[in-house]
C-alpha cells in the first residue's frame, strides 16, 4: 500500500512522540526495536537503512540521560537530528524532491518550534502540499548534493560529540555507582556490627556464668563420688557456644560431668539433684532451682539461678549432663577456628541471629550449632580459610581413637571415633596470612563483614541445584559428592542439608531439614532479595 508523504510525516512524527513519551516515563524500552518496528513497517514506502536506525537509537539513548524539564527543547533537538538524516540515505533520484522538501520542513520546524512549540508539527503538515507544487527537481538535486555533504559532516561531528558525552556520562555513572556501592556496603556493615554488638554476650555476664560453673564444680567436689560410683577422677567441663566463642545474650550454659569410666547417667543426675537441693537448703540459698529430666535420650539436670548483674535481674540457665565427650571436644575445636580472625566470631553470631529471626533455626529446625558448621563449610569451600587446619587434623586422625557408649531409644549405641584436631592457633593464623598473600588475596582485616555475610547468603541461596553445597562438612569440605567419590554413611536424599558432625559419626544434624526444602530455600531467597534491594533492616525482622 502506497501512501502520500503527508501521511508518512504524520506517522514519522507520531513515532518520535511515542518514543519521547516512553523516555519521559522512564519505561524500559528497546529504543532500536521500537524505531525498526515503527519506521520499517510495510505501510511506509521509504525504507530506512541500519545506519540511520542505529544513529537514531543512539540519540534516543543519549536523551534518556539528560536532565531537562523543557520537552519542546528536547523535541527540537530530536527532530533536527532525525529528520536531517533522511538526506544521507541511499534513495533514488526520483524521490529526491520529496527528500529535500523534508529538509525544508526541518528548517521551518526549527523556527516554528521557537514560535509555537506545541503546535509546530501540525502547522508544518498543513503546509506540505503547497511546497510540493513549487518544487524544481534539478535545482533541488544540486542543493541535495551539497546539503548531503554538509549534513554528513555535521552528523559525524554530532556523533563524535555524543560519544564524548556518553563516555563522560559512563565514567561519571561508574564513579557514582562505586560511591553508592561503598555507601551501601558501609550501611550494611554498620547494621551487621550493630546486630553483633546487640547479640554478643556481655563480658560481665560471661564472667558471672563462669562463676556459676565454678559453684557447680564445688558441689561436685563435695560429693563422695569415688565411694558411691568408684570413680578415680571427675571433671566439670562447660561446652557449647559459651566455649566455642559464639555465645549470645540468650545463650544458656551446657556442662558435662566427665568421668574416667561409664556410669548410669540417670542415677547420677538424680543424685546430683538431691545433693544440690540439700546443699542450698542448708546454706539458705533460695534463688537456685533444679529439675531432673531423666526420660530424655540424654538424661540431664536443668539448673536455674536468678541473680543481679550490673543492677539488672538475670536468669542463669545451665543444662548438666554426664560424659558428653563429643560436645566438649567439638566446642574446643570450633573455638580454635573462631580464633583465626575476629570477623569469624562476628559472622557466626550474626548468622545465628539471622537464622533464628527467619524461623529456620529452632527446636523443630536446624540448631544454631548447625549454622556454625554451615558457616565453616562455606569459609573452607570458598577458600576464605585455607585447608591447613584440616590437613594437620587429618594427619593424626588415628592417634586419638575413643569408644563412645550412649543410650538410645532402641538400646545402647557403641562406636569408635577420632577426637584429634590441630589446636595451635598462632601457627594456623600465621599459615593463613602467608597463604592469602601467596594467592594475592587481601588480608581478612581488609575483607568487610558485610561481604562475608553476603557471600554466605549467596553461597547457600545458589545451593538449590547443587548437592555438593548442601553437604556440610569441615573435615571433608572439598569432596565432590555429585561424582560419588565420597560416601557419607548418614547421607539422606530427603534432607535438604546433610551435615557431617565433626566427631559424632552417628549423628546427622541435617535430619531436621527433612521435608522443609521450601522453607530453607525461601529464607535464603528472601535474604538475597533484601540485600539486592538494599532493604537491609528487613534481614533481621522476625518472620
Classify residue 191: in a domain, yes or no: no
Residues 450 and 414 in one domain: yes
- Specify the pLDDT at position 149: 57
In a domain, 423, yes or no: yes
What CATH number is associated with residue 341? 1.10.1410.10
What does the pLDDT read at residue 543? 72
Same domain, 225 and 296: yes
Domain boundary pick from 323, 347, 369 = 323
225 and 295 in a single domain? The answer is yes
Cβ atoms of 330 and 239 within 8 Å: the answer is yes
Q: Name which of 433, 436, 498, 510 is nearest 471 in CA terms.
A: 498
The DSSP code sequence of 268-310 is HHHHHHHHHHHHHHHTT--SEEEEEE-SSSS-EEEEEEEEEET
pLDDT of residue 65: 41
pLDDT reported for residue 35? 46
Q: Is 0.75 topped by the overall pTM?
A: no
Give domain status of residue 530, yes or no: yes
How confident is the model at residue 232, as a pLDDT?
A: 80
Distances in whole angstroms, Cα of residue 254 to Cα of each of 11, 333, 512? 80, 16, 21
Asked if residue 181 belongs to a domain, the reply is no
Rounded to whole angstroms, the Cα distance separating 33 from 203 reads 64
Q: Are 501 and 508 in contact (CB under 8 A)?
A: yes
The DSSP code for 505 is T
136 and 36 share a domain? yes
Residue 61 contacts residue 30 (beta carbons within 8 Å): no
Domain containing 214 — which CATH number? 3.30.460.10
Shared-domain flag, residues 464 and 498: yes
pLDDT at 118: 53
Structural domain that includes position 134: 5-176
Number of domains the chain contains: 3
- Considering the domain architecture, whether residues 162 and 31 belong to the same structural domain is answered as yes
410 and 287 share one domain: no
Cβ-contact 245, 339 below 8 angstroms: yes
| Residue 30 belongs to a domain | yes
Q: Residue holding cell 546433610? A: 498
Residue 190 included in any domain: no
**Domain identity same for 219 and 350:** no
List per-block mean pLDDT (blocks of 10 residues) for the chain, which spans 543 residues. 42 53 46 46 35 46 44 47 43 40 50 55 48 50 53 55 60 62 72 93 86 92 81 89 91 90 88 93 91 89 86 88 93 96 96 94 93 95 93 81 75 83 95 93 92 94 76 83 65 87 89 90 93 89 80
Please indicate, yes or no, whether residues 365 and 463 belong to a single structural domain of this protein.
Answer: yes
Q: Pick the last residue of a domain from 323, 358, 378.
A: 323
In this structure, the answer to whether residues 257 and 291 fall within a common structural domain is yes
CA 395-396-397 angle, to 5 degrees, is: 100
Q: Which of 270, 289, 323 is where one domain is finished?
A: 323
Query: What pLDDT does 454 receive?
Result: 95
| Spatial distance between the Cα atoms of 133 and 130, rounded to a whole number of angstroms | 6
Per-residue DSSP letters for 58-72?
Answer: HHHHHHHT---S-HH
CA–CA gap between residue 517 and residue 385 (Å, rounded):
28
Are 162 and 57 members of one domain?
A: yes
Containing 528, the helix (H) or strand (E) segment is: helix 517-532
345/113 Cα distance (integer angstroms): 67
In a domain, 186, yes or no: no
Q: Are residues 161 and 297 in the same domain?
A: no
Asked if the structure places residue 330 within a domain, the reply is no
Amino acid at each position: 500500500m502506497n501512501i502520500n508523504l503527508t501521511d508518512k510525516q504524520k506517522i514519522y512524527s507520531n513515532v518520535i512522540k511515542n518514543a519521547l513519551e516512553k523516555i519521559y516515563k522512564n519505561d524500559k524500552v528497546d529504543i532500536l526495536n521500537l524505531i525498526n518496528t515503527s519506521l520499517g513497517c510495510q505501510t511506509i514506502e521509504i525504507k530506512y537503512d541500519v545506519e540511520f536506525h542505529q544513529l537514531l537509537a543512539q540519540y534516543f539513548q543519549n536523551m534518556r540521560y539528560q536532565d531537562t524539564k523543557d520537552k519542546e527543547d528536547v523535541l527540537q533537538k530530536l527532530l533536527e537530528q532525525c529528520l536531517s538524516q533522511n538526506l544521507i540515505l541511499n534513495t533514488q533520484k526520483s524521490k529526491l524532491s520529496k527528500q529535500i522538501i523534508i529538509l525544508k520542513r526541518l528548517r521551518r520546524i526549527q523556527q516554528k518550534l521557537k514560535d509555537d512549540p506545541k503546535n509546530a508539527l501540525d502547522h508544518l503538515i498543513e503546509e506540505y502540499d503547497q511546497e510540493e507544487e513549487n518544487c524544481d527537481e534539478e535545482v533541488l538535486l544540486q542543493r541535495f548534493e551539497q546539503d548531503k555533504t554538509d549534513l554528513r559532516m555535521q552528523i559525524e561531528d554530532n556523533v563524535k560529540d555524543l560519544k564524548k558525552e556518553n563516555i563522560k556520562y559512563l565514567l561519571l555513572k561508574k564513579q557514582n555507582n562505586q560511591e553508592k556501592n561503598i555507601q551501601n556496603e558501609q550501611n550494611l556493615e554498620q547494621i551487621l556490627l550493630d546486630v553483633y554488638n546487640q547479640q554478643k554476650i556481655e563480658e560481665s555476664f560471661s564472667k558471672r556464668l563462669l562463676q556459676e560453673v565454678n559453684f557447680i564444680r564445688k558441689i561436685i567436689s563435695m560429693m563422695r563420688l569415688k565411694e558411691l560410683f568408684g570413680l578415680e577422677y571427675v571433671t566439670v567441663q562447660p561446652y557449647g557456644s559459651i566455649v566455642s566463642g559464639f555465645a549470645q545474650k540468650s545463650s544458656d550454659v551446657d556442662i558435662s560431668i566427665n568421668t574416667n569410666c561409664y556410669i548410669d547417667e540417670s542415677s547420677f543426675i538424680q543424685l546430683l539433684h538431691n545433693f544440690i537441693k540439700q546443699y542450698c537448703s542448708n546454706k539458705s540459698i533460695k534463688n537456685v532451682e533444679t529439675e531432673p529430666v531423666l526420660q530424655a535420650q540424654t538424661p540431664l539436670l536443668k539448673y536455674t539461678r536468678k541473680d543481679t548483674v550490673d543492677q539488672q535481674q538475670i536468669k542463669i540457665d545451665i543444662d548438666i549432663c554426664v560424659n558428653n565427650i563429643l560436645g566438649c571436644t567439638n566446642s574446643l575445636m570450633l573455638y580454635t577456628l573462631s580464633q583465626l580472625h575476629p570477623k569469624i566470631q562476628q559472622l557466626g553470631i550474626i548468622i545465628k541471629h539471622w537464622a533464628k529471626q527467619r524461623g529456620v533455626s529452632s527446636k523443630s529446625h536446624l540448631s544454631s550449632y548447625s549454622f556454625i558448621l554451615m558457616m565453616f563449610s562455606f569459609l573452607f569451600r570458598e577458600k576464605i580459610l585455607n585447608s591447613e587446619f584440616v590437613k594437620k587434623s587429618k594427619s593424626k586422625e588415628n592417634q586419638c581413637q575413643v569408644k563412645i557408649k550412649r543410650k538410645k531409644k532402641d538400646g545402647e549405641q557403641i562406636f569408635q571415633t577420632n577426637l584429634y584436631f590441630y589446636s595451635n592457633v598462632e601457627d594456623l593464623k600465621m599459615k593463613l596470612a602467608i597463604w592469602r598473600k601467596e594467592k594475592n588475596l587481601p588480608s581478612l582485616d581488609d575483607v568487610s563483614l558485610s561481604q562475608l555475610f553476603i557471600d554466605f547468603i549467596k553461597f547457600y541461596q545458589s545451593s538449590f541445584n547443587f548437592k555438593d553445597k548442601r553437604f556440610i562438612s569441615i573435615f571433608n569440605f572439598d569432596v565432590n559428592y555429585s561424582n560419588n567419590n565420597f560416601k557419607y554413611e548418614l547421607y539422606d536424599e530427603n534432607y535438604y542439608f546433610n551435615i557431617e558432625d565433626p566427631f559424632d559419626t552417628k549423628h546427622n544434624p541435617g535430619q531436621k531439614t527433612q521435608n522443609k526444602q521450601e522453607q530453607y530455600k525461601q529464607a535464603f531467597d528472601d535474604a538475597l532479595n533484601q540485600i539486592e534491594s538494599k532493604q537491609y533492616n528487613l534481614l533481621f525482622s522476625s518472620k
